[in-house]
Structure 1
Amino acid sequence: MQWRNQLIKILIILVVVAIIYFLLKVILKVLITILPTPISTDISTFESEIITGIDIVLIAVGGYLIINIIQKILSMTVLTKLERGVANIIKFSLDVVLYTVLVLAILTALHINLTGVVVGGAVGGIIIGLAVQTVAQNILSGVLVTSSRTLSPGDAVSLISWIWGNPIIGEVRKVSILFTEVLTIYGNLVKIPNSAFLGNTVFQKLERSEGGLVYPLQVSLNADVEGVKVMERAKDILKDYIKDNTQMPQIIFSNKNGGTNVFTVIIRLTNVNELNDLINLVNRAFDQAYWQIKSGK
């Protein structure tokens, strides 16, 4: 495979750099021995500095070549499986890490105390970490969502979160590493950061039943009128609104919470785009039923 050939190139570079380093040190020793005394003395005086210069040049050139090869290996393997935007983010992050290691190696060759550098790097790392935290959460969430197939294109879903307030109801169009795209029942395309799915969002699929979708809707009304009467009147009104019996909602008197009657309406539909109109009909039916009973009609 090509990536194996690239690994062999890295090994060859390391061997060549080691050989060159050894030969240059031998040549330096020989020059000190055979050159006239004044010149050899000067060379001997600066021998450590010359060796340091050789170290820096070999580390810089060898490190640069190895980094390029590592980038090629990643481009041929991991990055090809990711979206372009995500691949660019990962590539940039790895470039920062690799070149930082190269710079630290050069500073070490220069015999520079890296204590201050490490402290500064730690602070910089914290800053960078905070900056990329959201991106990392999105990538992790995207991997979890796509790998577990929790959401797939074509799924009808309801997404509820304190982050955006009102529920997002619609059809999933695309699930990527960073975002999930949902075409809402109102016709707008929403891109939801995948990080919102980790502990911040309750999402449910509109499960299919007998060839159609099922959506539970809660309706709350003041309890100053009898809840059973409101429910029965709402059923009669819905029969006038909805002629297709297969789409007739099932109404359940869920509970009486203090001064509020709560009803659960099981809406059946064939396409998620019908949901907006059906919710409107249900709300209108309950509103009309409530005021009719309250006014004694």
Structure 2
Amino acid sequence: MTINRRRNEIIKIIAEIIIGIALTIAVGFIIDYIITAFLPHYISYEKLINEGVRAIIVFVIGFMIASSFIKYIELRIKTTKASLYGIALIVRIVIYVILIAIVLTIFHVSVTGILAGSAIGGVVLGLAVQTIATNLLSGLFVSSTSTLKYGDVLTVNSWVWSVNTTGKIIEVKTLFSKMLTKDGNIISMPNSALLGSSAIVEYKDNDGYYNYPIDITLNADVPLDLVISRALKTIDNTRFYISSKNGSTNTIHVIIRFRDVTEINDMIDNINRIIDRAYWDVKNNMVLFGSYATAISDDYYKILVSLPADVSPGRIIEGAGGLGIELYLVSKNGSTNVYMAKFRSSRGMEFDISDVNTRIDDLYQKLKKENN
């Protein structure tokens, strides 16, 4: 099917060329006959009229050939119209230059003389339009090589401007490309800066989501794994990694998932608030309850409980087990026994610590009465 279409386009181009040549010759004879037979008083303008009509025919046929040739290229390289834009522009420019040369020849204007006479002017003009030409060529490469495509989500790191720009490409044109930034603004970026003066980070589409990395730095005065554990309880679709630790600060590398670039700022704000709240929760608990406020991996907490040694540790530990409290004997100093109680916090550490201490004290009082 595609081969037949390509063949048809080639035949169409050849036919248009033949028709153009035939029309040009035929029109010359027709104009000569009409002026000689019916309009003899216009015979002095015959040459000018003939040349003008031929020039019009050349332009019309040239436009038709350009369109057919571009369709043939599209079928040949099997690309999208967005990628074809740069190639199409080059083809049109070449064909239009050829058409202008043919028209000038029809009017007996020396193309060679024009080219020779315009050499110095061309150099001056080239210097004047250097920036535009650079952007034009960059735009052709950007569109034809699919470096940038509509809908791409990326970050542009350019040494032309100091701020990294993250957003979604919404338009790719010859001189400028437009991006919808994460701030909701639309910026136009010169293609020359994108192609020659920038490093581009493209975000991969994973089932409609994109991954965006941020780094969050915290003071190293609290256990980092506890901060991450608390943060994960209140957020989904986010991955946390410990990026670095230098003694005074810890850095968390966070990967957030988003669908639209305009969501990024809100998600960054939310992540920072969650991490900050988790950090201060852990820090406040450690100030209140000391190092025993540290959580282990399964979210159990541990505290030390001191009791008089007049009740045997075995009975205390056994009774605590009946209450659902894991109790371990840590030390004995003659008059006092120190136990470590391990429990899972459900309402808040301060409430649970008070509850555990109260229940163990009640257990001790009960066992002490039984001894008496």
TM-score (norm 2): 0.48
Is 2:214 aligned against 1:217?
A: yes
Counterpart code for 2:17: L
Is 2:138 aligned against 1:134?
A: no
> How does 1:1-297 map onto structure 2 within 5 Å?
2-13=12-23, 61-78=53-70, 95=96, 98-99=99-100, 102-103=103-104, 106-108=108-110, 117-120=117-120, 122-123=122-123, 126=126, 130=130, 131-145=132-146, 151-153=149-151, 155-175=152-172, 179-207=176-204, 212-219=209-216, 229=220, 232-233=223-224, 236=227, 239-240=230-231, 243-253=234-244, 263=251, 265-272=253-260, 273-283=262-272, 285=275
| Structure 1 SS opposite 2:184 | coil
Provide the alpha-carbon RMSD of the alignment.
5.1
Counterpart code for 2:159: W
Distance 1:58 1:242 in 2: 85
Cα 1:283–1:240 change in 2 (3 A) is: closer
Counterpart code for 2:142: S
Report the CA distance between 1:139 and its aligned residue: 2.2
Q: Which structure is richer in relative contact order (CA contacts within 8 A, separation 6 or more)?
A: 1
| Structure 1 SS opposite 2:183 | coil
Counterpart code for 2:14: R
Kept in 2: contact 1:159–1:201 (CA 8 A): yes
| Structure 2 SS opposite 1:7 | helix
| Structure 1 SS opposite 2:108 | helix
Distance 2:164 2:57 in 1: 52
Cα 1:56–1:210 change in 2 (3 A) is: closer
Counterpart code for 1:267: I
Report the CA distance between 1:159 and its aligned residue: 2.3
| Structure 2 SS opposite 1:132 | helix
TM-score (norm 1): 0.57
* Aligned residue in 2 for 1:34: none
Please list the CA deviations of residues 125-174 of structure 1 after superposition, one character each: whole Å capped at 9, or x if unmatched.
Answer: 6357634332232122111126xxx6452x43222222343222233445
Report the CA distance between 1:209 and its aligned residue: 6.2
Q: How many residues align?
A: 248
Cα 1:9–1:16 change in 2 (3 A) is: same
Counterpart code for 2:18: I
Report the CA distance between 1:8 and its aligned residue: 0.9
Counterpart code for 1:74: A
Cα 1:262–1:160 change in 2 (3 A) is: farther
Larger Rg belongs to: 2
Report the CA distance between 1:14 and its aligned residue: 6.1
Give structure 1 stretches of 5+ with no counterpart.
Answer: 24-49
Distance 2:52 2:89 in 1: 24
Kept in 2: contact 1:179–1:194 (CA 8 A): yes
Distance 1:178 1:79 in 2: 24
